[in-house]
Amino acid sequence: MKGINLKYLLTCLIIILCLFLGSSCVHIETSPPPSPPPSPTATPIDPNWTPPPPESNTLVLPNFADVVAEVKPSVVAINTEVITYDIFNRPFTQEGAGSGWIIDEDGIIVTNSHVVEGAKAITVTLADGRTFPVETVRTDPLTDLAIVTIDAQNLPAANIGDSSRLRICDPVVAIGNPLGLGISAKPGWVSRLGVSLQISSGQTLYALIETDAPINPGNSGGALVNMSQEVIGITSAKIAMVGVEGMGYAISINQAMPIIKELIQKGYVIYPWLGVVLHTVDQWLASRYDLAVNKGAFITELLPGSPADKAGLEPGDVITEFAGEEVTTAEELIQAIRSSQIGQRVKITFWRGDAKNTTYAILIERPR
């Protein structure tokens, strides 16, 4: 063993011995897999429950076609001729078109006052194509309602509904003679109820139905119909402005019927009259005239000899109570006057400057 390093041999033997002993004595201990957690105890909610069956009643959408088929024969086209003048004051005949609907089988037709007012000749064309000259015209410009008659019998009169039962988003159909092109129907929905709309200086329509059913020139006087095939409004006006859509208006049938009845029975409408021109008190008016109140009906004009004149009222007074009811707008006072009786003595509370006063007026019939 000459030439072999003894120390090197001893080191190799120790390493071999350790490897041998380690391979025979090492014990690898493994852990058992964890057991699953115990299942929670659950109480059934209803062991006998079953899913509900599919709904068998399918929602039926409104059938506008059936409504139009029923009501269209009662709607008429109205054509008018009006004498007007050019810039050189030369007369010429201008033609106009509107709508109406049959309220009585013996030729009584409802329309708007502005459709027939001032016309020298008026004709009515029925749904079956027959044309009749108008024999009688009765108008009430305050409410924009009119009655015309033709010599015809056994006409298909429309059914009358109850506009007080309308709800916002109820479906409706406007049937009329838009642009004078013939009777057509436009469906839509009720947008608002009880709307007041000033259509000209000094004239405001009340209790209107707002609808998005398209209303165009020529539709005036036509029928606004519910899904029960009943007339619940008389199409009368629309807001025509750039960027404004779906704001047409109809006079509610409940508001119109008392006027229609008087036009048929008497030929004119009787209104109680106070004899004042009014404006609603607003912030600008209160500041402009240094008023002591910020609401009420401001008297802008007063007719001599009228009940208001005899009661001692003056222009510049602000009426805040009428017949025991609070008045906050000119429209409220007008409605209160119209709801009163001719000959009725009414108590009026008003402000003149900083003083609150009371007076009494006896209403008379409005001059025709």
The 10s digit of each residue's pLDDT in 157-185 is 999 999 999 999 999 999 999 988 899 99
For 300, residues 6+ apart whose C-beta sits below 8 A from its C-beta are 277, 278, 279, 315
pLDDT in tens, 255-305: 999 999 999 999 999 999 999 988 899 999 999 999 999 999 999 999 999
Q: What pTM, to 2 d.p., does this model score?
A: 0.73
The reply to whether domains 64-149 and 272-365 share a CATH topology is no
pLDDT at 215: 85
Q: Is 64-149 assigned to CATH 2.40.10.10?
A: yes
Q: How many CB atoms lie within 10 A of CB 349?
A: 17
* Spans of all domains in the chain: 64-149, 159-265, 272-365
**Whether 144 is catalytic:** yes
Q: Which fold has domain 159-265?
A: Thrombin, subunit H (2.40.10)
The class of domain 272-365 in CATH terms is mainly beta
Residue of 99, 113, 184, 220 marked active site: 220
**220 noted as active-site residue:** yes
Catalytic residue among 113, 144, 191, 236: 144
Mean pLDDT, the chain, whole residue set: 85
Q: State the catalytic residue, choosing from 74, 99, 113, 114.
A: 114
Kind plus residue range of the DSSP H or E element containing 147? strand 145-149
Active site residue 86: no
Tokens of 92: 């010429």
Residue 293 is which amino acid?
A: V
Burial classification of residue 281, based on how many CB atoms lie within 10 Å of its CB (0-12 exposed, 13-18 middle, 19 or more buried): buried
